[in-house]
Amino acid sequence: MLIAQRLALGFLVLFVVSLIIAAGVDALPGDLCQEMQGQGATVETLKACREEIGLDKSLPVRYVEWLGGMLKGDFGTSLANGREISELIGTRLQNTFFLAILAALISVPLALVLGVLAALYRNGIYDRAVNVVTLSSISFPEFFIAYILILFFSVNLGWFPSLSNISPEMSIAEKAYKSLLPALTLTLVVVAHMMRMTRASIINLLASPYIEMATLKGMTRRRIIVKHALPNAWAPIVNVVVLNLAYLIVGVVIVEVVFVYPGLGELMVDSVRKRDIPVVQACATIFAATYILLNMTADILSIITNPRMLHPK
Amino acid sequence: MNEIQRLQKKFEAGRISRREFISRATAIGAAAAVPGSLFSGPAAAAPKKGGHFKLGLGQGSTTDSLDPATYLDTYMQTIGNAVYSYVAVVDNNGDIAPDLAESIEPSPDAKVWTAKIRKGVEFHDGKPVTPEDVIATYQYHMGEESKSAAKSLLAAVTDMKVDGDNVVFTLSAGNADFPYIMTDYHLGILPTKDGKPVDPTSGIGSGGYAVETYDPGVKSILKRNPNYYNDDNAHFDSIESLVIKDVAARTTALTTGEIHAMNRCDLKTVHLLKRQKGLQVIQTTGTQHYSMPMITKQAPFDDNNIRMALKHAIDRETIVKTVLRGYGQVGNDHPIGPSQKYFNKDLPQRAYDPDKARYYLKQAGLDSLKIDLSAADAAFAGAVDTAVLFKEHAAKAGIDVNVIREPDDGYWSNVWMNKPFCMCYWGGRPTEDWMFTTAYAAGAEWNDSFWSNDRFNELLLAARAELDESKRRTMYYEMQEIVSNEGGVMVPMFASYVMAASDKIGMPKLAANWDMDGLRAMMRWWMV
């Protein structure tokens, strides 16, 4: 029931997002034909171009046409080069998910372990060191971290390639090898948030009476934290982890540019720059859907870990 | 092409030895005319077949397509030059060289041009290239629904017809430079049927390479066309061309050996790149220039005294030294580059002179002047810096330049030719006539200063139809003088194309008409 309600709401949000995007791209100065022809545009060629791709029709007409196609599962074609959008997006979407999964596989376990350890040895040297390192890495801009990694691992040591130009025919191992530097960059960016939340929510619970009881029973600190505190701390941690997963999918444009990784972000930026509305719409819909689905997952997971939430007061 | 040029070509291509070259050149009494640089440098090494060439370029976009009518930047333009053949091409000395046409002959008034199309050239799909394909391809660009930037180039063509192996072009007025128009990167010959291209986006041409995979905005893989007619070109077995927009990523990829060559080096760090072993940094200075057009229909720019004041209020040397880091040359307020055939050598170089600027302000009846200058790095890398430097220089002449930062997005549609004074760039055109016609002739679509000068327009028409070189020279000299002293565009600098490549890549003398060896790096370079 809850899931169905959430899904219905999600579709409503998607619809609103698509409206905002259509209006937003249309409000930008210039249109696709001007951007495609750049300095070389003339009045005549602009007119021919607009007629050919239907830009002479009004925005509501174009939007309704797009929505109609979308409901039938047809993304339409790119205005700029006439390619099927599903074909344009297909491999790029896989690449984006591949990078996100790789980064998540590294960063989530790492953040949880670091966070639990930080709670265990809180205010000690280890805790401070972990905090300083992760907070510094989140404070640097992504491209800076990326360049530093490239400098050490690719230019000086030569272990990893500086370009992550993966293609569909490569094996998973080869793809993972080529994508490791961007995944590490993303890891360094997201790990602090998840680690700090793990640490904070565990420490929060450590003041509760039942933990005091456990301490009085003579349990080891490690057992108290892992067996008693952590299960009750899951809800906020899961929320932060999922939020970061969403970031790994939708927020990686800069990393894509630095490593020349063929993901969805760059496609969207290029399309916004050229005012290719159907492609922007398709990307935005995918990104919005990712956010909605992941948020829903977070809610469901928190409920599973904490049955009390099933019965709101 | 005369005998000595032919010999020189053969020598540069390594097909005859130095000894043989000298003895044959002496035999035709031409040894003295050979440029001294011919015997030096890597250019003398012979091209070799084979190898997989990986190229990283700073342009390209996911919105690209293989259709030549849509080419916008160096990325697709270099691919077009590898995939398609043209009626003619520009060689590395800036002269016309044959491609699909064995010969191109003008009528005495330069109004009718006859191109004899080579026999036995095939498209990648095996279909022969015919004179009909040439005409249908040109019509594709000229037609009603054409969105091609080549449309205005071909506007003067009134008739095309097949005559045996020949295509006969008739122009509305004489144009001695018509063969250069046929080299335009939009005009690659497409396979056609019933007067229409079969599919302009298919990437089927008759050039040295065939498209293997094409992923717009990511990479393209090209394979050598085994049936290519010209053995002097297309040396690599295969080519991988990557879109690498971030200049740091491009540089790292080159230094770590993931690519063999890149364009648009970061001028701020190129001195470090030069120290790297195993790399060569190459530059060509041709027609690319950065300009500052003023709309001469509007006050205050309708007064030539104001324009002259501004032209004297910019310190060109400093800007070339700082913004271009020395990779360029000062401009003389006209668009003809120092390497071009009819560049006016006698015109004195305009210098930074605040007193003269003040003098011109006085002539205009002013003590001081306040103007807005619109700038964005979309015009060229360093445009905003140039504008700010100009503000400092002009202040000494009593001119207050208010630099307005415009968004990169939509710069060409909203700022250029709309704001009264802005920053701009021109990739340049291979001939004087082409450049002047595009951006300085009265009423031209891209006359970005909205400038009109009767004497200039008269000379432009006369020089275009003139086949006599020395008469043309006199006319072009005068036109450069007029533009420099009365025109509405400041041209502070000519910018070099700065590229870098691995030592493993061999190249002949580089062409300067476009970036990447006149866009023909894929065709002319080889693996040593």
Q: Give the strand pairing for B289-293 and B101-106.
A: unpaired
Q: Helix count (H) and strand count (E) of chain B?
A: 17, 23
pLDDT at B5 over 80: no
- The pLDDT confidence band at residue B181, using thresholds 50, 70 and 90, is very high
Average pLDDT over residues B311-338: 93
* Residue B202 forms part of a structural domain: no
Tokens of B304: 């030539």
| Chain-chain contact of A39 with B412 (C-beta, under 8 angstroms) | yes
A51 touches chain B (CB under 8 A): yes
B246 touches chain A (CB under 8 A): yes
User: Among candidates A275, A309, A288, which has minimal Cα distance to A53?
Assistant: A275
Q: What is the CATH number of the domain that holds B372?
A: 3.10.105.10
Is the separation of the CB atoms in B433 and B441 below 8 Å?
no
Question: Searching chain B, which residue's CA lies closest to the CA of residue A279?
Answer: B63
The C-alpha torsion from A31 through A35 and A37 to A39, rounded to 10°, is 120
Of A21-35, A250-264, B116-130, B149-163, the range with the lowest mean pLDDT is: A21-35
| B139 and B111 share one domain | yes
B525 touches chain A (CB under 8 A): no
- Tell which wins on pLDDT, A18 or B333: B333
CA distances from B132 to A72, A209, B103, B357, B491 (A): 43, 91, 17, 57, 42
Examine the fold and report which residue of B197, B228, B248 is the final residue of a domain before the chain moves on. Answer: B197
At B517 the pLDDT is 92
| B271 and B297 share one domain | no
At B16 the pLDDT is 60
pLDDT at B7 over 70: no
Block residue for tokens 């000494």: B396
| Chain-chain contact of A147 with B145 (C-beta, under 8 angstroms) | no
* Residue A78 forms part of a structural domain: no
Q: What is the CATH number of the domain that holds A209?
A: 1.10.3720.10
CA distances from A280 to A99, A277, A283, B117, B397 (A): 21, 5, 5, 45, 49
Average pLDDT over residues B153-178: 93
Contacts of A95 in chain B (CB under 8 A): none
Examine the fold and report which residue of B174, B197, B220 is the final residue of a domain before the chain moves on. Answer: B197
Could you write out the DSSP letters of every residue in B445-481?
Answer: TT-TT----HHHHHHHHHHHH---HHHHHHHHHHHHH
| B391 and B469 share one domain | yes
User: Among candidates B298, B326, B358, B307, which has minimal Cα distance to B490?
Assistant: B307
pLDDT at B504 over 70: yes
| B502 and B481 share one domain | no
| B97 and B225 share one domain | no
Give the distance from residue B410's alpha carbon to the nearest chain A alpha carbon, in angstroms.
6
* Residue A30 forms part of a structural domain: no
- The pLDDT confidence band at residue B499, using thresholds 50, 70 and 90, is very high
Q: Is A115 left (phi over 0), alpha (psi -120 to 50) or beta?
A: alpha
Q: What is the CATH number of the domain that holds B514?
A: 3.40.190.10
Please write the tens of the pLDDT for every residue from B36-95.
334 434 444 688 999 999 999 988 888 889 999 988 889 999 999 999 999 999 998 888
Task: Suggest the residue from B62, B184, B273 to mutate for an interface test with chain A (most A CBs closer than 10 A).
Answer: B62
Instruction: Name the packing angle between helices A59-71 and A2-27 (round to 10°).
Output: 150
Q: What is the CATH number of the domain that holds B93?
A: 3.90.76.10
This prediction has a pTM of 0.83
At B41 the pLDDT is 41
Q: What percentage of residues in chain B have a pLDDT greater than 90?
A: 67
pLDDT at B490 over 50: yes
* Residue B53 forms part of a structural domain: no
| B251 and B324 share one domain | no
| B378 and B487 share one domain | yes
Contacts of B445 in chain A (CB under 8 A): 42-43
0.85 surpassed by complex ipTM = no
Is the separation of the CB atoms in B71 and A80 below 8 Å?
no
Number of independent structural domains in chain B = 4
pLDDT at B509 over 70: yes
Is the separation of the CB atoms in A138 and A130 below 8 Å?
no
Task: Suggest the residue from A79, A165, A177 to mutate for an interface test with chain B (most B CBs closer than 10 A).
Answer: A165
Question: Searching chain B, which residue's CA lies closest to the CA of residue A79?
Answer: B63
- The pLDDT confidence band at residue A89, using thresholds 50, 70 and 90, is confident
| Structural domain containing residue A143 | 94-310
Mean pLDDT of chain B: 88
| B261 and B303 share one domain | no
Block residue for tokens 């939509």: B410
Contacts of B219 in chain A (CB under 8 A): 165
| Chain-chain contact of A34 with B410 (C-beta, under 8 angstroms) | yes
Give the distance from residue B371's alpha carbon to the nearest chain A alpha carbon, in angstroms.
24
First to last CA, chain B: 29
* Residue B51 forms part of a structural domain: no
First to last CA, chain A: 18
| B480 and B400 share one domain | yes
* Residue B295 forms part of a structural domain: yes
Q: How far apart are CA A88 and CA A77, in angstroms?
A: 9
Give the distance from residue A49's alpha carbon to the nearest chain B alpha carbon, in angstroms.
5
* Residue A221 forms part of a structural domain: yes
Of B144-153, B209-218, B494-503, the range with the lowest mean pLDDT is: B144-153
Tell me B46's DSSP state. P
| Structural domain containing residue B233 | 209-284+497-527
* Residue A246 forms part of a structural domain: yes
Average pLDDT over residues A251-266: 86
* Residue B63 forms part of a structural domain: no
Tokens of B415: 């700022």
Examine the fold and report which residue of B144, B168, B197 is the final residue of a domain before the chain moves on. Answer: B197
| B299 and B447 share one domain | yes
Q: How far apart are CA A277 and CA A26, in angstroms?
A: 8
* Residue A267 forms part of a structural domain: yes
At A30 the pLDDT is 74
* Contacts with B269 (C-beta within 8 Å, 6 or more apart), sequence order: B251
* Residue A63 forms part of a structural domain: no
Q: Tell me the three state secondary structure of residue B329.
A: strand
Of A49, A52, A154, Cβ closest to residue B256: A154
Number of independent structural domains in chain A = 1
pLDDT at B154 over 80: yes
Average pLDDT over residues B24-38: 44
pLDDT at B190 over 90: yes
Q: How far apart are CA B79 and CA B242, in angstroms?
A: 11
| B116 and B175 share one domain | yes
Average pLDDT over residues B447-457: 93
